[in-house]
């Protein structure tokens, strides 16, 4: 006769997740835990497994009375070996329970992810296309731009020469004016009346 998990958790006042943890640690023995298909796949335990559960619960409650709040897994395995014999091995659950709603959610998530990936691909394609267009534009207009730069350089050189010529003319005119006035001093030139 197998005992459902709901009855054990109710009678011993423990949580179902604790039982799952004990199963994973191999504390319930090597016998597999069955799920009752007639009762929504609820876990059911054999008589030997129930004895182990009761013993584990008893040890943990005694530890709580002694104000030990954390059970050492190695110590528990040692106690189980002394009480029941055999070997304690961790059970790796290979079972995956998937509900229809989970599958629908997963499918919606995949569809959304595909849409986002396609949008990103389009953006990348547009960026690449834009970069290529920009590259082509630069390559096509570069010779013209180089010619413009050369033209601008020539204009600047011409302006510089013109400015230097004008400066020389002004210097010469100033020198001539100074000679005509008889070489007045600094203040006289500064405050001269026109």
Architecture of domain 3-84: Orthogonal Bundle (1.10)
Domain boundaries, the chain: 3-84, 117-194
Lowest mean pLDDT segment, chosen from 21-30, 167-176, 179-188: 179-188
Please determine, for residue 59, whether its predicted confidence score (pLDDT) is greater than 80: yes
What is the chain's mean pLDDT, rounded?
78
Per-residue pLDDT tens digits for 61-75: 999 898 888 888 888
Question: Treating both helix axes as pointing N-terminal to C-terminal, what angle do 73-84 and 16-25 enclose, rounded to 10 degrees?
Answer: 80
Average pLDDT over residues 33-43: 81
38: which DSSP letter?
G
CA distance 81 to 62: 18
Contact between 34 and 2 under an 8 Å Cβ cutoff? The reply is: yes
pTM: predicted TM-score of the whole model, two decimal places = 0.44
Segments in 69-99 forming alpha helices (H)? 73-84
Cβ-count burial 169-186 (b if 16+ within 10 Å, e if not): eeeeeeeeeeeeeeeeee
At residue 82, the pLDDT reads 84
């Amino acid at each position: 006769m197998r005992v459902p998990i709901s009855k054990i958790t109710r009678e011993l006042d423990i949580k179902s997740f604790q039982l799952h943890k004990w199963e994973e640690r191999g504390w319930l023995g090597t016998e597999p835990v069955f799920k009752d298909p007639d009762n929504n796949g609820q876990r059911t335990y054999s008589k030997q497994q129930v004895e182990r559960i009761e013993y584990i619960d008893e040890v943990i409650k005694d530890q709580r009375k002694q104000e030990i709040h954390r059970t050492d897994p190695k110590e528990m395995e040692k106690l189980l070996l002394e009480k029941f014999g055999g070997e304690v091995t961790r059970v790796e659950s290979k079972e995956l329970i998937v509900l229809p709603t989970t599958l629908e959610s997963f499918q919606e998530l995949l569809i959304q992810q595909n849409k986002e990936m396609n949008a990103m691909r389009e953006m990348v394609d547009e960026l690449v296309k834009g970069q290529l267009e920009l590259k082509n534009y630069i390559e096509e207009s570069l010779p013209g731009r180089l010619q413009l730069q050369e033209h601008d350089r020539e204009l600047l050189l011409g302006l510089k020469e013109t400015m230097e010529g004008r400066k020389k003319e002004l210097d010469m005119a100033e020198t001539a004016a100074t000679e005509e006035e008889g070489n007045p001093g600094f203040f006289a030139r500064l405050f001269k009346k026109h």
